[in-house]
Amino acid sequence: MSTPDLNLLVTLDVLLSEGSVARAARRLRLSPSAMSRALARLRETTGDPLLVRAGRGLVPTPRALELRERVNQLVQDAEAVLRPVNGLDLDTLVRTFTLRASEGFVESFGADLVARVARDAPGVRLRFVQKADKDSASLRDGSVDLETGVVGKTTGPEVRAQALFRDRFVGVVRPGHPLTKGKLTPARYAAGRHVFVSRRGLDHGPIDEALKPLGLRRDVAVIVGGFSAALALARASDLIASVPERHTESLRAGLRSFALPFPAPEVTVSLLWHPRQEGDPAHRWMRRCVQEACGRPSAREDGGEEA
């Protein structure tokens, strides 16, 4: 079975609207003979005369009357699909955006983001899902609209990234911890018992690399999968947590934070999305909301993530 020529839908719409081969030809800028040939093709395709002679004019058949509204709607829908989007009506936008982010990100920036979205587009709902890994599959398959994190080796090469903010690691302990008294040196820091954060189950990271030139090594007593768990353990014990400062601002309430007493690496937290969403006006608006909630965006940069 041959595929029908969809261009005939436009011709049929104009013919049924004008009820005249001559007027339809002028509207489509065709010759009368070309329009007559198009009508013959339509009759053959639909198996119906569509327009029949009545006196000096043409009248639609019952089949043509049945098709008129449907064809017109189809043509309008097709034109809407192919027409560039000129604007976005946030007042009437109804959509759910799924953001994959750490608990720390939601704790620190989620409330501001929710407020911005509610102010501009009351019909939009946010769904935050946790990051079990750094794989880009969820962005590719569309189950996640946006992701926040550090660009790394496992980030898909096609994924778009916009830096949100730079962050540095700080040490965190409970009030009254021994490190809160006296001068803090690299040796005192390293000698304490540490909780290490790694979703991949590693036992060392950039901080350990920064200690190597000093001849020091941390005593990692516990390995957890997220900063929330690390801070919870530090709150209830003498463990030392080392976490990104801005990323965990809300989570560190009531704890004692301190600058690491040696040069430590910084990280860049970025906003990630799949390129197929690049031109979607609603998606662009949501990206701006996230960027504004986190501060002014800057150029893409790479960084580490383990603590």
Q: How far apart are CA 143 and CA 97, in angstroms?
A: 10
* Domain of 241, in residue numbers: 166-267
Tokens in use for 33?
């003979």
211 in a domain, yes or no?
yes
Instruction: Report the run of H or E that residue 26 belongs to, with start and end.
Output: helix 21-28
pLDDT tens-place string over residues 263-281: 988 889 999 998 888 888 9
Residue 219 has pLDDT above 60, yes or no: yes
CATH number at residue 76: 1.10.10.10
Of 82, 107, 125, the residue that ends a domain is 82
Alpha-carbon gap, residue 106 to 298, rounded angstroms: 21
Asked if residue 11 belongs to a domain, the reply is yes
CATH number at residue 215: 3.40.190.10
Quickly count helices (H) and strands (E) in the chain.
11, 11
d(Cα 228, Cα 281) in Å, to the nearest integer? 34
Total domains in the fold of the chain: 2
Do the domain assignments include residue 138? Answer: no
93: left (phi > 0), else alpha (psi -120 to 50), else beta?
A: beta
Q: How high does pLDDT run on average in the chain?
A: 87
Residue 158 in domain? no
pLDDT of 302 strictly over 80 = no
Task: Give the Cα separation of 117 and 292 in Å (integer).
Answer: 11
Strand partners, 219: 193
Which range, of 167-176, 184-193, 196-205, 241-250, averages the lowest pLDDT? Answer: 196-205
245-263 in b/e form (b: 16+ CB < 10 A) is bbbbeebbeebeeeebbbe
Q: From the centroid of its chain, how far is CA 176?
A: 42
Q: Is the pTM of this model over 0.75?
A: no
Parallel, antiparallel or unpaired: strands 219-224 and 124-129: unpaired
237 assigned to some structural domain: yes
Answer for the pair 30, 41: CB distance below 8 angstroms, yes or no.
no
- Quick one: pLDDT at residue 307? 54
The reply to whether 223 falls in a domain is yes
Asked whether residue 180 is domain-assigned, the answer is yes
pLDDT score recorded for residue 115: 95
Of 232, 251, 267, the residue that ends a domain is 267
Helix (H, G, I), strand (E, B) or coil at 59: strand
Is residue 298 domain-resident? no
**82, 116, 137 - which closes a domain:** 82
pLDDT for residue 124 is more than 90: yes
Instruction: Say what the pLDDT of residue 185 is.
Output: 96
